[in-house]
Amino acid sequence: MLGKLLKANFRKDMSHMISFLLIVILSSSLMQLGLMLIMGYNSQFERKVEELNSPDIRVMVATYDEEERTSILDYISSLPEVDYYELVPTVSLQTDVVSDDVDPDSKNAMDNVSSVYSYVPFGEWGEMDTPQFVDLYDEPVDEPIYLSRLFNQEIFKGAYKPGDEMTLKINGRERVFTVAGFYESITFYELFFVDPVTLAELNSEDVYPVDQIVIKLADGVDINEEYNKICNEFDLRNIASGAITINEYKLLYTQMINIISVFLCAFAIIITLVVLVVIFFRITNSIEQNITNIGALKALGYTTHQIRTAHILEFVITAGLGFLVSTGIIYMIISPLEILLRTVAYMSWDHPFDPLAFIVTGLVIVGSSFLVALKSTSSIRSLDPVQALRFGLKSHSFRRNVVPLDTAGGPLVWLMALKSSFASRKQNILVFVVMGAIGLSLAIAVFVGYNIGLKPTNLDKLLNDNTTDISVTINADDPIYEVADLPYVKDVWWTDQFTAAYEGTNVYIDVSEDWNNVPEVNLLEGRLPKYDDEIVIGKKLSEARDVMIGDMIVLQTAEKSFEFTVTGFAQGTENYGLFVMMNEESAFHLGHTCYKNSLYINVEDSDPAKSAKVVESLEDAFGDRLLSYLDYCSVFANGEDPTITLARVICIVLIVISIAVIWLTMMLLIKTIIIKSQKELGIKKALGFTSNQLRTELSLSLMPSILLGISAGAVTGILNANNFMTLLLGAYGVSKSNMASDPWMYLSVIIIGAIVSYLMVYVLSRRIKKISAYSLITE
């Protein structure tokens, strides 16, 4: 009996179930894919670390003689926290990449044509972070070179494939290599592996004295504490060094994937909420529409449990089917998607079947569908067969006539729409919740699209303690005054960096002549330093060390230590928020002499055309003394930054999915309304109303709840968008997102959502044309 009842329900509700199925496929696809990405890539990173035996800390030190090298290695071996270490045999050489696509004389940092690259003899690597070679060229070559997938993607924009020729000018002499394959490595992704004989030929007197040391710590040792200890020790010894922990590498490889996953899961939750509201509305509405049928079924001997079970299984089976279909779709697209994601993840992912993501998504989608369906059918228990057969729970409505047509003034179609709107409470709740969810997602899309996709300088201001239009490095003692006189230059200032220790934490020091003269400083609280004993510290540093404005802190370098007063907190991703800002006079207290050849320039109106003119003037004025520049205005305008591209893609996806959800939900809702109101619509047509008038009435009747819902979602989304971005970017060092959240964003979401919804409702209500008074006559 239950099977027959279930078949009858499906046959009657087939079109509704198809719409519901599509929404479930959409929500479960996003949720399962998001969970697969965030768990898959993070676990893949951990597996790679274990497979490659990656180090906990990598240290790069400049060693100018064997005695200094021995001293450094003795210090590392003396640390009780160090399990073992290796000195990696690298040779660092000045290298220019020669390519038809790149001007070898370009000083543009985006071209990455000139740098000090490290070379390693092929076959001579240690036990830590042993490279895994992939995509090997299947023919022997004379001058093989192997580079990492990450380096090929990040530096060479994916230009090289196995078998391609690669011309490098090393120490002024050109050499043609053949790309023999790629490798994967966690920490050594920037190394070139070449033939040992070739490396012996390249190894000349012009070698940069950089040693690579990788360290494996004992179990239970805090990596960050050991990192700070080693860095501070080298600073106190006045040894030029840099260190990176495995945690920072994990951030490099997985952070962009984590951001994408959070967006997918968050949006999946929004759509799942829509799914649950649709279930509740559909079941309760079906019960109201079919009360007499339910009474008849009870009279024929069907139990309340059987009737409820049939309704519940109808949605649970559809939700389960949608979930399984979405799983199939995901595993069909995951391989090409994984190849695409290598551009932001920099590593391959095996993407096996993920049982945890499958189970969690299934429980959320199918389980929540079951619970809502169970709740929605509870009214069937109290339905008496005799009462049901006498046309329902209510034979008459005693509600007040809100808009009496005989006395109210105004256009008749508008009055009828308003009357219908007030008469449909459940319908209004459904539309309000759905449009609220859509308004929320559209608000996030507009916020991200504007602040990152359209105005990437807003993101730049968030991520950096000070922002600029052009950064330039000039080989001159004090070039700031020459640059200030160039056309279109609005502001120019210099900065210098060094490191110091604060209570065992290695911190970066940013120095400028006077930070009060720097136009764009990301100051969150307090004021900028005025005097030589004042500093501003990163907000993350203040949180880590519980420092308040007005506190005194001691900074220490190899030469000196000095006590400074904290006057404010700034924000930036430099050293993940562990940084200090001070004026030039303050740096003297720590024994640091500033180099003033790194300049930052703001151009008039931040105009890309004017910034290009400034770059031309710089090249003319300084010639070979201009070492490099980076024109942020042009980079942002051209969309060359991968973060900007990703933000634009996310916005487009959010908007497309939002429109799809509106369409599917309205498709289900409009059909239900038309079926429920067939007799009323037929009578209105008999009275002389046209199909267009009735379609307009239906569209207008939904507008109050559409506007209220999308307005609530838009306001909620824009007000909380900065909190959402703080959560996403917190690992980078962002303490408080403060990007633009202007009133026009609310209005644009409301206007766009309202117009799109109205047009969709009008289009979907075209079946009203098929209704006539004659077709509703029964004998």
Domain ranges for the chain: 1-56+251-395, 57-220, 408-463+636-779, 464-635
pLDDT digits (tens, 9 = 90+) for 587-616: 999 999 998 999 999 999 888 899 999 999
Nearest to 600 by CA among 736, 695, 496: 496
Give the integer Cα–Cα distance in Å for 241 and 437. Answer: 51
The pLDDT of residue 534: 97
Give the integer Cα–Cα distance in Å for 323 and 733. Answer: 37
How far, CA to CA in Å, does 78 sit from each of 55, 72, 503?
18, 10, 22
The pLDDT of residue 394: 47
More confidently predicted of 697 and 537: 537
Residues forming beta bridges with residue 245, ordered by sequence position: 57
Phi, psi of 438 (to 5 degrees): -65, -40
Q: What is the DSSP track for 392-431? A: SS-SS-----SS-TTT--S-HHHHHHHHHHHH-HHHHHHH
pLDDT digits (tens, 9 = 90+) for 520-563: 888 999 999 999 999 999 999 999 899 999 999 999 998 899 99
Residues of 733-770 as b/e, b for ≥16 C-beta within 10 angstroms? bbbbbbbebeeebbebbbebbbebbbebbbebbeebee
How far, CA to CA in Å, does 233 sit from each of 62, 72, 226, 721?
14, 10, 11, 42
> Which residue type, as a one-letter code, is found at position 231?
C
> Which residue type, as a one-letter code, is found at position 469?
D
Fold classification of 464-635 is Barwin-like endoglucanases (2.40.40)
Per-state percent for the chain, helix, strand, coil, to nearest 5: 55, 20, 25
Collapsing DSSP to helix, strand or coil, 186 comes out as coil
The pLDDT of residue 641: 67
Neighbours of 226 (CB within 10 A): 20
Largest CA distance in the chain: 109
More confidently predicted of 755 and 405: 755
Give the integer Cα–Cα distance in Å for 112 and 145. Answer: 18
pLDDT digits (tens, 9 = 90+) for 215-262: 999 999 999 999 999 998 888 888 888 899 999 899 888 888 888 888
Any idea what DSSP says for residue 234? H
Residues 6 or more apart whose CB falls under 8 angstroms from that of 236 comprise 501, 556, 557, 558
Side-chain-side CA neighbours of residue 428 (13 Å): 16
Determine if the pTM surpasses 0.75: yes
Give the integer Cα–Cα distance in Å for 586 and 428. Answer: 64
Token pair recorded at residue 683: 């009578």
Give the integer Cα–Cα distance in Å for 761 and 434. Answer: 14
Give the integer Cα–Cα distance in Å for 281 and 757. Answer: 19
Any idea what DSSP says for residue 133? E
Q: Is the pLDDT of residue 188 over 60?
A: yes
Nearest to 52 by CA among 132, 137, 163, 172: 132
Token pair recorded at residue 513: 């002549």
The pLDDT of residue 612: 92
